[in-house]
């Protein structure tokens, strides 16, 4: 199985005009673009590693949730050129998987390297700039029970033969009925001519909850079961049991009892302190897995030989799990590794 060579995460620093952390800004003009944040993440990576990837790149994948802002397709080609400095490199593909997209990107990069595509490296980038609806209203809705979504970008390099963590196993499952929560109509017709404004984003969830059969609660229960199956399948298909997994690192999800229950149902041990660390930033959508890895590696929690199971859910429509074996103790680039913010900002209160 291929290896993770490095993972770099970038989160906008400073405050906006309202005094909020900049990655939680409310005005689009004060937000960085996805492209800018991915480039910033890549600049944190050793230039020699980027040069090696540029010389022998099998493929690159870019992931985001709903909308990538300043770029229509193909944003991946633009990012590949700006990050690697090449007019031609490996295949470039874009992924839309909501917040599970980062791990889906790792899975696809792992697959193309295993399949023998020309090139020793694969690159995965991703990020979100949440300018198209009010992130604070979303987090406050009793229906969504949503985590406060933060802006971020990441850049990861994989190598066929070496790296700090080897990919041992992957698993992914979907719960298709949950997609209905995000649609204003159920007939498959044009859903939102004003996209990407999404002024009615929260209403979609709340109206869905009033439709009758197939409510948000019903889907939440069913999709949670899918999440449990995904995590369990990930370690079982490697011939392992829950006691073999040293650290469980799920993406940041609120309310916290969701991940607590996921750990309990899968018989895994959450990494100590990882939830409180992630709560400083809110839910960084597709970049959460990189934040988790930075926490485990940079705080010397994960040691050589340890098995780390990463998990991410895209609105629980899509679940993804990746099991890693740590091969080297490294420090991963993350510009806010030691950052702290006031607890009232974690809930979006001003």
Averaged pLDDT, groups of 10, the chain, 350 residues long = 98 95 94 95 98 97 76 80 92 87 97 97 96 87 80 98 98 87 75 71 77 74 93 98 98 88 96 93 96 97 98 87 99 86 38
> 247-250 and 57-64 as β-strands: parallel, antiparallel, unpaired?
unpaired
Spatial contact of 234 and 169, defined as CB atoms under 8 Å apart: yes
pTM, two decimals, is 0.92
Where exactly are the structural domains of the chain? 3-164, 167-185+200-332
**Spatial separation of the C-alpha atoms in residues 279 and 165, rounded to whole Å:** 25
pLDDT at 346: 37
3-27: string of b/e by CB count within 10 Å (b at 16+)?
bbbbbbbbbbeebbeeebbbbbbbe
- Among 131, 153, 121, smallest CA distance to 2 is for 121
Half-sphere exposure of 215 (CA within 13 A, CB side): 8
**Do the Cβ atoms of 266 and 311 come closer than 8 Å?**
no
d(CA 259, CA 228) in angstroms, rounded, equals 10
Give the class (CATH, top level) of 167-185+200-332: alpha beta
CB 340 within 8 A of CB 277: no
d(CA 172, CA 164): 23
Structure-token pair, residue 83? 């990050």
What is the pLDDT at residue 342? 45
Residue of 309, 41, 38 lying closest to 165 (CA atoms): 309
- Rounded Cα–Cα distance for residues 43 and 85 (Å): 12
Same fold for the domain at 3-164 and the one at 167-185+200-332?
Answer: yes
The pLDDT value given to residue 96: 80
What is the C-alpha separation between 60 and 77, in angstroms, rounded? 9
Domain 3-164, CATH: 3.40.47.10
**Which runs of E-coded beta strand occur in the chain?**
3-10, 57-64, 91-96, 121-128, 152-159, 165-174, 247-250, 307-314, 318-326
């Amino acid at each position: 199985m291929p290896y993770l060579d490095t993972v770099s995460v970038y989160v906008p620093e400073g405050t906006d005009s309202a005094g909020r952390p900049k990655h939680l800004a409310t005005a689009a003009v004060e937000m960085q673009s996805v492209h800018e944040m991915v480039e910033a993440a890549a600049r944190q990576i050793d230039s020699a590693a980027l040069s090696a990837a540029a010389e022998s790149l099998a493929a690159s994948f870019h992931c985001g949730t709903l909308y990538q802002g300043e770029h229509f397709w193909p944003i991946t080609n633009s990012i590949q050129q700006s990050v690697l400095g090449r007019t031609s490199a490996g295949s470039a593909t874009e992924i839309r998987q909501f917040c599970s997209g980062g791990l889906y990107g790792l899975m696809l990069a792992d697959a193309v390297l295993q399949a023998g595509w020309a090139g020793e490296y694969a690159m995965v980038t991703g990020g979100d700039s949440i300018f198209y609806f009010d992130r604070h209203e979303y987090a406050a809705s009793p229906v969504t029970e949503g985590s406060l979504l933060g802006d971020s970008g990441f850049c990861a390099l994989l190598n066929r033969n070496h790296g700090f963590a080897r990919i041992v196993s992957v698993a992914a499952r979907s719960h298709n009925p949950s997609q209905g929560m995000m649609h204003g109509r159920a007939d498959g017709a044009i859903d939102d001519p004003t996209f990407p404004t999404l002024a009615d984003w929260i209403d979609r969830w709340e109206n869905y909850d009033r439709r009758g059969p197939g409510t948000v609660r019903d889907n939440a229960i069913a999709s949670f079961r899918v999440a449990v199956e995904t995590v369990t399948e990930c370690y079982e298909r490697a011939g392992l049991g829950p006691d073999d997994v040293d650290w469980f690192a799920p993406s940041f999800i609120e309310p916290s009892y969701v991940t607590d229950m996921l750990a309990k149902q899968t018989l895994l041990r959450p990494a100590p302190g990882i939830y409180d660390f992630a709560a400083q930033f809110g839910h960084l959508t597709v970049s959460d897995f990189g934040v988790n890895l930075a926490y485990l590696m940079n705080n010397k929690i994960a040691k050589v030989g340890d098995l780390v199971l990463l998990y991410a859910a895209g609105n629980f429509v899509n679940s993804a799990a990746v099991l890693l074996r740590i091969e080297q103790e490294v420090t991963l680039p993350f510009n806010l590794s030691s950052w702290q913010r006031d607890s009232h900002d974690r809930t979006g209160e001003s």
